[in-house]
Structure 1
């Protein structure tokens, strides 16, 4: 048994592939059956459009279509009507910038990257064809033709990133061998935004969804009605997204041992609730179909987020839970996040990356670096950082930054502009706002990344955002373990643990040995079982089936759920359990 495993927690209980089961009557097709079904659709309807998410395997898609429809006219809309790679590069260059990590949000529609006359030429070919026609590729539905069927080949962002690490380029780009950070930047600031805007126009008209996250020969197919039923179901009950794990230069061993994941040398990150990145798994008659969790945000924003949260953020999930594992690892980079005005003016983002560290576990000597030491000279700190950036000397972080002792269940609040990082031998549940790439590294302890390349330092950005008045005393009084009792009852206690008044997220912790009453109060709730083996989430009126969660699992309760309860169950009975719950302040009814 792992030395990190908490007492009473069942090894291997953490669910790495949570599913949402559709009721009887829904069907999924896989592999040859899926392609045979699409072949029948094209034959009976005359023409279909398979609109793909950028990063989909179009070569594999065409191969399967040729096998299934040997006499059909197959048209790759990207080759037939999209602008050339050079033209696209020229258009988006100002939004990509020269930086490895940061660009500017691009709000162009997809049709800006297509030639209208060539789209019309494709439409004429479709209308004049005497055999079945399949138009495929990102933007297939831009063709102004009357298609008999519309299919979306969807792809999760994490899968796109894995393919890019293997050498796949961005959309219509000759950059297969480029730095992975630059590929992600192009996706984050340009392609994925454009793809999501385009995809949102398709949900109501989809006849089928094709799961393109696996080999095209094994792709899975469900009807548009099944997709919509699954998303409707998720919007009305507690659920989990699919976590993914990634190694890092500072990564540790806690997740690897406690959650029993993979065989990498270490794991640094786990995105356990980042709907912009994570997937949902629909169990359709025993076939598991993967789709981006963002599809739920786009199709049911009011039920999921709540009316007030939707009015404030739009169809965007504003709360992120993730893990940072440095147990037997190293310090995170010393960093700061941008102020709201800065992130809006420089990068086109509407809100910033406020966050906090909740300690799931900590070693004896664990610390969190947070805030500037009282009395330090900002000019001296800047000079020391700039010298360190040249490699001429190390940055003596302890001379300038507070290092607060950290123990299990401590909570450190990190409003934007606060210098911070988690030290070694910590297991952090990071609770934050969603713009997740906006970290300005100042010092990375003289390391290089796993790829052997120094990780990017953004000193100028960082220095423009450091709040120098957040000294030792201010930080201790405002950001370290701001726990306040809220309420208590038979077998439970509720505490407020933050966040800071500058941040829009509220966090409540419940300790309990018996049933606890909760209510979404009109806004989405995000929770993690931070103590105890197992709990069950239930509806007082039976509107959803009991939902079991295990230690360290993050789960989402949509605003539409309203009242719900959490109590110990299974291996959790007889234990003191703990949850942390985050929601958007000022949106409760």
Structure 2
């Protein structure tokens, strides 16, 4: 699933994981569109029984099946082998039937949701979108084992009824960023639709229905060892293929290393300039990079260097296959197999304005209204600032009066003196602001923030006031005062903020090499943040205690992070890179490199944490 609407078409290929793979894995990688199809066709022909072979070709949303079919078709023609192709679209329910089936997931509530962003996760599966009579007839065809190759292709081709009758399953995976770009380019329609919807409606349907059911099917295939041919279909001109056992080896090897995801960049009205300068991103990419999805597991991918080829795998394919090893048993069980923390940067450095004044809902509201897994907490860690930088959190005036003024402003577009009502704290590098769900907040202009969030699913941001700004199309940006009013904690004022969520650093450990401080901790949130100040050439030793740790280099040039027990499992980490130390590494070492001291932001799950505060949602 992905809630990413407007990613920039820019590939940051600095995030490459170099791991030690056996020779047979390197040799098994097939690169090139025609070569991928030919390789699959050769396998089918060589393994025919009674002159017949059936193949299911499934994939993630936006997968383009014709690329693979072209190579299969050409090879079969040269070998005079009969090829029968069956498009699974012909076996879906009708467009109107699917609309009726999914309408509860896509309510038309313009009062609370003026531009139709929100919905409810669909609880069904790919099977529910199939016409059962047509499906039975297809299964009858597959049982006959016709002469030559029979290829069933399209989203849902590998559901259980079909794959049990096929000799092999191929799966075309696509990263969330590529899927979002293809959606923007209207290169595909929602499942069962004849034509693409308007972009925002297409992506809303994707998030709450299509991504959800395809995501479930991919997990089923990965964990039943049901993928014989794993295809990466990100690059239109350079598909890649590995067999299922090679994919298993790659992911099993990777989960023993500290690793970095590949970031995604998004533009926004308040976007700044810090990340562009640090990473030398070309000016023509965008004039305002607002969000950097550095490690939002549902939105990013992970690149592995396989013999000089950059193999770009959706990060959640990795989680679905190796989540237990990556996160540890307790975390895996508590969060239903989802990676529980997300990390991104908010860049307002040298920009024209603040982020919107906003609030996020708690678990009761999210689960009841969106059928999601839990609450939406956040945390801001200040990395760099310019003149006058502030972070807003909590009320300092009458919050209910602010909401009424915001409702009026939504109608007449008159400006509000928001600073009269919203508490602010001076932004200085190293300050951590924890933001439990229900807390009014905003990142102010002229700063660069590391933002953490709970879970990795949808983004439920209720804008209370957005300074009457317009988007690129000249429309006022949507405001959500009705939902905001339902979830705001009006009692969270300046004093509450000072005592609970903006704490002074607490020194907990020191040596001749380092000092470690708690900088973010509250009983309202299940993760904690520490700051490690490491001297030049100093070493810090940590322990995962059966779970994972995420570290960000927030100051300094370079560090090396590696397993103490198995030093070959290591990663060289640069400024602003975010690296996960998986649960497979119990004891780890962070070593300062270069010519200067470094500062490391460390995030981990608190002792005795719980995800579901409300017992009624346990084991739902």
Q: Same fold (TM over 0.5)?
A: yes
8 Å Cα contact 2:37-2:69 kept in structure 1: no
State the distance in 2 between where 1:273 and 1:154 align.
Answer: 19
8 Å Cα contact 1:324-1:428 kept in structure 2: yes
Q: CA deviation at 1:59?
A: 4.2
Residue aligning to 2:6:
none
2:131 aligned residue (88, 104, 115): 115
Residue aligning to 2:377:
354
Q: Does 1:400 align with 2:421?
A: yes
Q: Does 1:95 align with 2:116?
A: no
8 Å Cα contact 1:523-1:587 kept in structure 2: no
Q: CA deviation at 1:430?
A: 0.3
Q: CA deviation at 1:49?
A: 1.2
Residue aligning to 1:545:
569
8 Å Cα contact 1:308-1:587 kept in structure 2: no
State the distance in 2 between where 1:128 and 1:310 align.
Answer: 41
Helix, strand or coil: the match of 2:268?
coil
Q: Decide whether aligned partners of structure 1 residues 359 and 72 sit closer, same or farther in structure 2, where only a CA change above 3 A counts.
A: farther
- Please list, as runs of the form range in 1=range in 2, the aligned pairs for 1:393-432 lying within 5 A after superposition: 393-432=414-453
Q: Which moved more, 1:56-65 or 1:303-312?
A: 56-65
Q: Does 1:363 align with 2:386?
A: yes
Q: Decide whether aligned partners of structure 1 residues 192 and 587 sit closer, same or farther in structure 2, where only a CA change above 3 A counts.
A: farther
State the distance in 1 between where 2:573 and 2:103 align.
Answer: 45
Q: CA deviation at 1:378?
A: 3.7
Q: CA deviation at 1:352?
A: 1.2
State the distance in 1 between where 2:97 and 2:303 align.
Answer: 37
How far does the alpha carbon of each residue in 1:6-50 deviate from its partner, in whole angstroms, 9 at most, with x for none?
A: xxxxxxxx9633234333221211122222101112223322111
8 Å Cα contact 2:54-2:145 kept in structure 1: no
Q: Which runs of 5+ in 1 are unaligned?
A: 1-13
How far does the alpha carbon of each residue in 1:271-330 deviate from its partner, in whole angstroms, 9 at most, with x for none?
A: 111111111123222222222111221112221111111121021000111000001112
Q: CA deviation at 1:56?
A: 1.1
Q: Does 1:138 align with 2:143?
A: no
State the distance in 2 between where 1:232 and 1:450 align.
Answer: 44
Q: Which moved more, 1:170-179 or 1:196-205?
A: 170-179
8 Å Cα contact 1:248-1:450 kept in structure 2: no
1:51 aligned residue (47, 52, 58): 58
Helix, strand or coil: the match of 2:235?
coil
State the distance in 2 between where 1:15 and 1:529 align.
Answer: 18
State the distance in 1 between where 2:192 and 2:311 align.
Answer: 27
When normalised by structure 1's length, the TM-score is 0.92
- Please list, as runs of the form range in 1=range in 2, the aligned pairs for 1:42-81 lying within 5 A after superposition: 42-45=44-47, 46-70=53-77, 71-81=81-91
State the distance in 2 between where 1:68 and 1:450 align.
Answer: 48
Q: CA deviation at 1:247?
A: 1.0
Q: Decide whether aligned partners of structure 1 residues 550 and 144 sit closer, same or farther in structure 2, where only a CA change above 3 A counts.
A: closer
Helix, strand or coil: the match of 2:24?
coil
Q: Does 1:305 align with 2:327?
A: yes
Q: Does 1:105 align with 2:97?
A: no
State the distance in 2 between where 1:378 and 1:226 align.
Answer: 57
Q: Does 1:255 align with 2:275?
A: yes
2:513 aligned residue (487, 491, 503): 491
8 Å Cα contact 1:55-1:171 kept in structure 2: no
Residue aligning to 2:544:
520
Q: CA deviation at 1:436?
A: 4.5
8 Å Cα contact 1:119-1:144 kept in structure 2: no
Q: CA deviation at 1:456?
A: 2.3
State the distance in 1 between where 2:22 and 2:416 align.
Answer: 58
8 Å Cα contact 1:368-1:421 kept in structure 2: yes
State the distance in 1 between where 2:333 and 2:157 align.
Answer: 32
8 Å Cα contact 1:42-1:133 kept in structure 2: no
Alignment RMSD (CA, Å): 1.9
Residue aligning to 2:211:
192
State the distance in 2 between where 1:327 and 1:72 align.
Answer: 61
Residue aligning to 2:202:
183
8 Å Cα contact 1:360-1:409 kept in structure 2: yes
Q: Decide whether aligned partners of structure 1 residues 444 and 92 sit closer, same or farther in structure 2, where only a CA change above 3 A counts.
A: same
Q: Decide whether aligned partners of structure 1 residues 583 and 266 sit closer, same or farther in structure 2, where only a CA change above 3 A counts.
A: same
Q: Decide whether aligned partners of structure 1 residues 139 and 418 sit closer, same or farther in structure 2, where only a CA change above 3 A counts.
A: same
- Please list, as runs of the form range in 1=range in 2, the aligned pairs for 1:218-233 lying within 5 A after superposition: 218-233=238-253
Q: Which moved more, 1:279-288 or 1:289-298?
A: 279-288
Q: CA deviation at 1:332?
A: 0.6
Residue aligning to 2:8:
none
Q: CA deviation at 1:464?
A: 0.6
Q: CA deviation at 1:392?
A: 3.7
Residue aligning to 2:190:
170
Q: CA deviation at 1:481?
A: 4.0
Q: Does 1:240 align with 2:260?
A: yes
Aligned length: 568
Helix, strand or coil: the match of 1:249?
strand
Residue aligning to 1:23:
22
Q: CA deviation at 1:61?
A: 4.2
Q: CA deviation at 1:377?
A: 2.9
State the distance in 2 between where 1:61 and 1:440 align.
Answer: 43
How far does the alpha carbon of each residue in 1:122-142 deviate from its partner, in whole angstroms, 9 at most, with x for none?
A: 233333411211111111122
Helix, strand or coil: the match of 2:230?
strand
1:129 aligned residue (136, 139, 146): 146
State the distance in 1 between where 2:256 and 2:474 align.
Answer: 46
Q: Decide whether aligned partners of structure 1 residues 179 and 548 sit closer, same or farther in structure 2, where only a CA change above 3 A counts.
A: same
Helix, strand or coil: the match of 1:230?
helix
- Please list, as runs of the form range in 1=range in 2, the aligned pairs for 1:255-334 lying within 5 A after superposition: 255-262=275-282, 263-329=285-351, 330-334=353-357
Q: CA deviation at 1:343?
A: 1.1
